[in-house]
Structure 1
Amino acid sequence: MTNIEQTTQNMTSGNSMKQIILFFLPLLWGNLFQQLYSLVDSIIVGKGISDQALAAVGATGTLNFLILGFVVGMTRGFGITFAQSFGKNDMAMLNAYIRAAKKLSIMFGMAFTVVCVSLLNKMLTFLNTPEDIFDDSYRYFAVILLGIVVTVMNNLEITILQSMGDSRTPLTAMICSSLVNIMLDIIFIMAFGTGVVGAAVATVVSQFVSYLLCLKKLRTIDFMSLGKDTSEIADEKNILVELMKIGLPVALMNSVTAAGAMVLQYFVNLMGSAYVAAYSACMKFASLFEQFGMSVGLSMMTFVGQNKGAGKYDRIRTGVRQGLMLSTLVNVPISLLMIFVPGSLARMLLTDNMIIGYCTDFMPIMGISFFALGWLFVYRYSVQGLGNTFIPMLSGGLEVIMRLIFGFLVGRNGFKGIAISEVSAWIGAFLMLMVTYYCLIGKRTKAIA
C-alpha cells in the first residue's frame, strides 16, 4: 500500500452511506471546533468585557463573511478539481493543481489584505455601524484582515486533505487550533485586558497553528506515487486559468450571499446596539448549528467530486439521497433547541434580559426552517462537485434578492421580520439548487445511456 493510500479515502467504491458517514463525522467535529473558538470569543468578549464589545465584534460578522468568504470560497472551489483528479487516480494532475492553487491563494490573500484594510473605515460607515461600538469594531476587524493570508492558506491545506477523503487530519488541526484560541482568549482578555484586539489576535494565531499541522501532514504524502508522468501535464498558465474558472464562481457566491446578509445587518444596525447584540448572538448560534448540515454538504462535494472524476453517476444519485436523509436526521435536535429553549441559549452569551428577549423572538423562526438550510447545503455542494459552480453562484444572488425583498417588506418593521427575511433566502436558494441538481444528474444519466 502506498503512502497516499494509507492517508486518504477513495469514495468511488464500497458502501456509499458508510463512507459518507465516516467522512462526515470527523468533518463535523472539525467544523464544530472551528466554530467553538468563535463562540468562545463571543462568551469571553460578552462576559469578560461587555455586551457592547460583543456587539462590536458581531457588527463585523457580515464583512467577515463578505471578505474572508470570498478568498476561502475560492480555495473550496479549487477543491473540486482536487477531488475530481483524485477520483480519476491522476496524482500528477492533482499535484499540478495544488501548486497553482497555492500561488493564487497567496496572491489573492495579499491583495485583499491591502485593499480591505485601507477601506475598512468606509465599509463600517456604509453599514451604519452604531457610533458607540464603531472604534472597537474597527480595531477587531483590522487585526482579522491583517491575518487573511494565514486564514486562506489554512483553508487551502484543509481543502486539499478533504478532497482526498482525509477529514481526520483537519479534525486534529481544528481541535488544537480551538484549544490554542481558548487559551489565548483567556490570557489576552481576562489576564492582560487587551479588549477586542486580543480576541482577534487569538483567532489569527489559532488559524496559523491549524495551517502548520495540516502542512506537516501534506508533506508526508507522495502525490506522484500514482498517475501520469508530469511531462503530460498542461502548462501552468492553463492550470491557473482553469482554477480561476471554477474557483471564482464559488468565491463570488460566498461574497454575494454575504452581501445579502449585509442588507439585514444594515436594518439591524438602524435598530440600535441592543438589537445588534441580540442579532450577533442569534447568528453565532446559527453559524454553530449550521455546521451539521454544512458538514453533510461538504461530504457530498468530496463524494460527488470523486465519483464525477470516476464517471460513476448512479453512485452519485444514491449518495445524494443518503446525504439528504443524513442532513434531516442531524437537524432534528437543532431545530428543537432553537424552537423550545432559545432563552437558555441566549443566556450563554448575554446578560441583559431585554436583549435575551429579542433572541427568543428570533431563534424559533430560524429553528422551524433549519431543515431547508441543511438541504440547501446538500444540493449546493453536490452541484459544485459535479463541476458546475455557476448556478450555485446565482443561488447566492437569489439569496440577496430574497433578503432584500423581505427585508424591505417585513425586516424594517421588527426583529421577527429580520428572521423571516433570513429564512426566506434559505428556502429560495434550496429550491433553485434542488431543481438544478436533478436537471444536471438527469442529463448525465441520459448521456451515459
Structure 2
Amino acid sequence: MEQTKKQDMTKGNITLQLLLFFFPILLGTFFQQLYNTADAVIVGQNVGKLGLAAVGGTTSTIINLFIGVFVGLSSGFSVIVSQHYGAKNNKLVSICVHTSIAFSLIVGFMVSILGIIFSKTMLANMNIPDDMMSMALPYLQIYFLGLAPNLIYNMGAGLLRAVGDSKTPLIFLVISCFVNIVLDIILIHYMNMGVTGAAVATVTSQIISALLVIIVLYRRNDALKLRLKSLQINFSELKKMISIGTAAGMQSAMYTIANILIQASINSLGTDTIAAFTAYGKIDTLFWMTIQSLGISVTTFTGQNFGYGNKERVKKGIIYGMILSVVITGIVMVLLKLFGRSIYTLFTQDENVLKIGSQMLDFMVIAFPAYIIIEIFSGSLRGIGDSWIPMIMTAGGVCVLRIVWIIVMVPKFPNFYTILWAYPISWIITSTLFLIYMFGFSKMKLWLKSNIYVID
C-alpha cells in the first residue's frame, strides 16, 4: 500500500514522470493559493475595497516573505531526502524526517511569537494608510498564529514529495481549503467578523493541514514513518539540509523583500491602486503556481536521479522541464489575456479599480516568459545541492536591481507602470545570469562532465 504512494523517478518515461508529479503539486498549490484568494474575494464583496486592500497588498506581502522562507527551507530538506531516497538509504531518510519535523516545531513557534509582537512595526514601515491599519493589524497578528502549523505542513509535504508522493499533500490542501472557504462565509458573511474572520478561517485551516500531515507520517510503515519519541535533531544532516534550504529560503525572501519596496511604492498611489494590485496579485498566481510547481517537479526529479547517479536522465529532465514550462506558460498567458478582466470582477465591482487592474494585468502577462529559465534552472541546480550561487544571482539580478529601480526611477515617474517595469527587467537580467552560469561553470556542468559512475 505504501509503495503506491511513492514515485521512483529513476526509471520510466521522463515526461510522464514529470507530469504525474507536477499535476498534484499544481492542484495543491492552487488550493493553497485559494486560502488567501477566498479571503480576498469574500472580504472584497462583503467589506469593500478597503477590506480587500487590508487582507491583500501589504499584509499579503509580509506573509509571503515568511511563507517563502518556509517553503524554501522545506525544499532544501526535501532535496537531501530525495537524494537519500534515490540512493536507497532508508536509515538516512528516517533521520532526516525526524530532524525536519523537530526543526519545524522549534522554528515555527519562535517565528509566530516574534511576528505577533512586531506586526504593527512591519505595517507602519510599509507606509500603510491610516484607514487600513485597524483592519490590517489584527488580520496579520492572527495570521502569524498559523505560521507554525504552516511550516509543519510545508515540511511534511516536502518529505512526502521527496519520495514521489505529491498526491497526499494535495488531498490535505483540498480538505483545509474547503474548511477555509466555509469558515470565511460563516465568519465574514453571516457573523460580520470582517477581516478578523478571514484570518481566523485561514489559521484554522492551516492547523488542520498540519495535523493531517503529522498523522499520515505517523501511520506510515516505511522510512518516512514518524515516531514521536525519536524526534531529535541530527546536526550532521541538518547542516546539509539547512545549507540548501537557507539558500532557497533566502532566494524566495529576496523576491519578497524587493516586492515589499514595490508594495510600499504602490501604497503611495492610493487605495484604488492598492486594491487593484491586491487583486492582480491573486490573479497572476495562475502563472506562479504552475511554473513553481514545475520547478519543484524538476528539483525532485533531479535529486532522485543525482542520488542514483543517472546523468542522462538529469540532462533530459532539464530539457523536458523547459519544454513543458514554455507550453504551460503559453496556455496561462492566453487564459489571462482572454478572461483577466472577468476574473477581476470576482474581487470588486469598483470601475476605477477594474480599469487599473486590467491595465496592470495586460502589461505583466506578456513578460511571463522571461521568468521561465530562472525557475527551471534554479530547480535543477537545487536538486544536486547547488543552491548558493543561484541565490546570489537572484539577489543581484532581482532584489538589488528592483531596489535600485524603485529608488531611482519611481520618484522621477511616479505611476504604476514605472513600478511594474521592475519585474520584466529583473527577470531578463537574472535569466541571462543563469544561462551563463549553467553552461559556463556550474556544479551541474562539472558533475555531468565528471567520471562519476552512472547507473544504467
Q: TM-score range by the shorter chain?
A: over 0.9
Report the Cα distance in structure 2 between the residues aligned to 1:50 and 1:345, rounded to whole angstroms: 17
Q: Take 1:67 and 1:365, find their aligned partners in 2: how far apart are those partners?
A: 28
TM (norm. structure 2) is 0.92
Structure-2 residue corresponding to 1:440: 443
* 1:260 aligned residue: 258
- Is there any run of 5+ residues in structure 2 with no aligned partner, and where? 226-231
2:327 and 2:410 map into 1 onto residues whose CA distance is 31
1 CA distance for matches of 2:233 and 2:158? 23
1:171 paired with 2:170, answer: yes
* CA–CA separation in structure 1 for the residues paired with 2:369 and 2:154: 26
Q: CA deviation at 1:100?
A: 0.9
Which residue number corresponds to residue 418 of structure 1? Answer: 419
| 8 Å CA contact 1:87, 1:308 repeated in 2 | yes
Aligned pairs (5 A) from 1:305-324: 305-324=303-322
> Could you tell me how far apart the structure 1 residues matched to 2:421 and 2:64 are?
20
Q: What amino acid maps onto 1:345 in structure 2? A: I
CA contact (8 A) 2:80 2:240 kept: no
Please provide the CA RMSD for this pair: 2.0
C-alpha change, 1:244 and 1:441, in structure 2 (3 Å) is closer
SS in 2 for 1:377: helix
Q: Which moved more, 1:338-347 or 1:70-79?
A: 338-347
Correspondences of 1:47-196 after superposition (within 5 Å): 47-58=45-56, 59-196=58-195
User: In the alignment, does 2:30 pair up with 1:27?
Assistant: no
* SS of residue in 1 equivalent to 2:7: coil
CA contact (8 A) 2:77 2:244 kept: yes
Report if the CA contact (8 A) 1:60-1:141 is conserved. Answer: yes
Of 343, 348, 351, the match for 1:350: 348
Counterpart AA for 2:451: I
* Superposed CA offset, 1:73-109 (max 9, x none): 2122111111111111111101101111111111111
CA apart distance, 1:260 = 0.6
- C-alpha distance in 1 between matches for 2:181 and 2:3: 35
Distance 2:224 2:188 in 1: 48
Q: Secondary structure at the match of 1:349?
A: coil
User: Residue 69 of structure 1 aligns to a residue in which SS?
Assistant: helix
**Alpha-carbon contact 2:74-2:154 (below 8 Å) kept:** yes
Alignment of 1:367-406 (within 5 A): 367-398=365-396, 399-406=398-405
**Pairwise CA distance, 1:426:** 2.6
CA contact (8 A) 1:411 1:421 kept: no
Please, which moves more after superposition, 137-146 or 437-446? 437-446
Counterpart for residue 330 of structure 2: 332
Moved more, 155-164 or 429-438: 429-438
Q: Deviations over 1:103-135 (max 9, x none)?
A: 111111122122222111111111111111112
TM-aligned CA distance change 1:432 to 1:223, over 3 Å: farther
Matching residue of 2:201: 202
CA distance in 1, matches of 2:9, 2:320: 14
TM-score calculated relative to the size of structure 1: 0.93
* Distance apart, 1:424 and its partner CA: 2.3
- Going from structure 1 to structure 2, the CA distance change for 1:151 and 1:422 (only over 3 Å counts) comes to same
- What is the match of residue 5 of structure 2? 7
Cα offset, 1:11, TM superposition: 0.2
Equivalents in 1 of 2:62, 2:219: separation in Å? Answer: 36
Q: Deviation of residue 333 (structure 1)?
A: 2.4
Task: Give me the identity figure in percent.
Answer: 28
SS of 1:165's equivalent in the other structure is coil
Could you tell me how far apart the structure 2 residues matched to 1:174 and 1:369 are?
Answer: 30
**How many aligned positions are there?**
440
Aligned-pair CA distance for 1:410: 4.2
CA contact (8 A) 2:394 2:430 kept: yes
With 430-439 and 376-385 compared, the bigger mean Cα shift is at: 430-439
1:279 is aligned to 277
Code of the residue aligned with 1:305 in structure 2: it is G
Partners of 1:299 and 1:418 in 2: how far apart? 32
Residues 266-298 of structure 1: CA distance to partner in whole angstroms, max 9, x if unpaired?
A: 111111221111111111112233111111111
Stretch deviating more after TM superposition (372-381 or 434-443) = 434-443
**In 2: Cα distance, 1:314 partner to 1:13 partner:** 11
8 Å contact 2:9–2:305 — kept in the other structure?
yes
**SS of corresponding position for 1:14:** coil
Code of the aligned partner of 2:262: L
Which residue is equivalent to 1:427? 428
Q: Unpaired runs of 5+ in structure 1?
A: 227-233
Q: Distance in 2 between matches of 1:124 and 1:33?
A: 27
**Alignment partner, residue 229 of structure 2:** none
Paired amino acid for 1:296 = L
Does the aligned pair in 1 maintain the 2:146–2:207 contact within 8 Å? no
Deviations 1:170-205 (A, max 9, x none): 111111111111111001100111111111111111
Shift of residue 364 of structure 1? 1.6
Contact kept, 8 Å, 1:88 with 1:306, in 2: the verdict is yes
2:298 alignment partner in structure 1 = 300
